[in-house]
């Protein structure tokens, strides 16, 4: 049986090892690819432990040094956690969402990212998310959405703009989570992070926050009414207005 030392017993593979011998010049990449494929296929899950080094060396047909380099790369990616001592070994771990978003942000910050880039993606995805929310959002999450707007109104009255900004972002995150699509949730969560970064630089004023809250009220009303078409249109209008406002602020400060 392959991976007899895993925390979670794995099913036998009819005598065929999970991994194939790597024979190309990109050996490390091949090893990484096979392990990632095994995770995608559900053969490896968080908590599982890869076989001992000797067994992996035999399965991949590589040297100990090459294997160790591959494991170090996988650990850097956040896919495994190599532990020493009793209960040690290369443990499969779930990649942290925050780390993933930070890596994406580090890449994009060198690409001359614009508000228009961000808004183009938001216009494609957020109206869809709002429509799905109108169809599937639970009564509990609807209540949370309503409460977010109530808290936002209090923050505006007290001129707590920083708190209001965080509130605006969470409103969109909650809608995204309703899609129950991990790819869409990750992308939209990441997009909201970037939007928050833009706001920290551009520092929109109270008028902006008031217009955002007005738009959020309309989006909430459409979602609460279970009207996906209306929710989608209100979201698209809102994202477009935010793009226009932030673009003007960018011009004003000469960025």
Average pLDDT over residues 70-82: 87
Q: Which residue has the higher pLDDT, 17 or 203?
A: 203
Q: Are residues 87 and 103 in the same domain?
A: no
CA atoms within 13 A on the CB side of 195: 25
Q: Are residues 74 and 106 in the same domain?
A: no
Residue 28: predicted pLDDT: 86
The 10s digit of each residue's pLDDT in 213-237 is 999 999 999 999 999 999 999 999 9
Give, in degrees to the nearest 5, the angle at Cα 103 between 102 and 105: 65
Residue 229 lies in a domain: yes
Q: Are residues 107 and 217 in the same domain?
A: yes
Q: Are residues 151 and 115 in the same domain?
A: yes
* Domain span including residue 77: 27-92
Rank 10-14, 89-93, 112-116, 119-123 by mean pLDDT and report only the highest.
Answer: 119-123
DSSP symbol at 83: E
The CATH number linked to 103 is: 1.20.120.530
The 10s digit of each residue's pLDDT in 147-188 is 999 999 999 999 888 888 888 889 999 999 999 998 999 899
DSSP symbol at 204: -
The CATH number linked to 71 is: 1.10.10.10
Q: 0.85 cut: is pTM over it?
A: no
Q: Are residues 140 and 196 in the same domain?
A: yes
Residue 152 lies in a domain: yes
Of 43, 59, 92, which residue constitutes the final position of a domain? 92
- Rounded Cα distance between 192 and 65, Å, is 41
Q: Are residues 133 and 190 in the same domain?
A: yes
Work out how many domains the chain is built from and give that number: 2
């Amino acid at each position: 049986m392959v991976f007899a030392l895993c925390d979670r017993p794995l099913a036998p593979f009819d005598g065929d090892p999970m991994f194939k011998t790597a024979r190309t010049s990109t050996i490390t990449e091949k090893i990484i690819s096979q392990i990632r494929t095994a995770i995608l296929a559900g053969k490896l899950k968080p908590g599982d432990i890869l076989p001992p080094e000797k067994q992996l060396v035999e399965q991949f047909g590589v040297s100990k040094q090459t294997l160790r380099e591959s494991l170090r790369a996988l650990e850097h990616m956040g896919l495994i956690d190599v532990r020493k001592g009793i209960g040690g070994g290369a443990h499969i771990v779930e990649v942290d969402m925050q780390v993933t978003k930070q890596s994406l942000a580090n890449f994009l910050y060198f690409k001359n990212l614009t508000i228009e880039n961000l808004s183009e993606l938001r216009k494609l995805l957020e109206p869809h998310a709002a429509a799905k929310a109108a169809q599937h959002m639970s009564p509990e999450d609807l209540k949370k959405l309503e409460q977010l707007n109530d808290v936002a109104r209090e923050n505006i009255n007290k001129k707590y703009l920083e708190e209001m900004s965080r509130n605006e972002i969470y409103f969109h995150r909650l809608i995204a989570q309703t899609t129950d699509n991990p790819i869409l949730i990750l992308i939209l969560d990441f997009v909201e992070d970037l939007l928050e970064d833009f706001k920290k630089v551009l520092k929109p004023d109270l008028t902006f926050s008031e217009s955002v809250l007005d738009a959020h009220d309309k989006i909430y009303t459409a979602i609460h009414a279970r009207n996906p078409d209306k929710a989608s249109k209100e979201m698209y209008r809102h994202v477009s207005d935010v793009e226009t406002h932030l673009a003007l602020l960018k011009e004003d400060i000469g960025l």
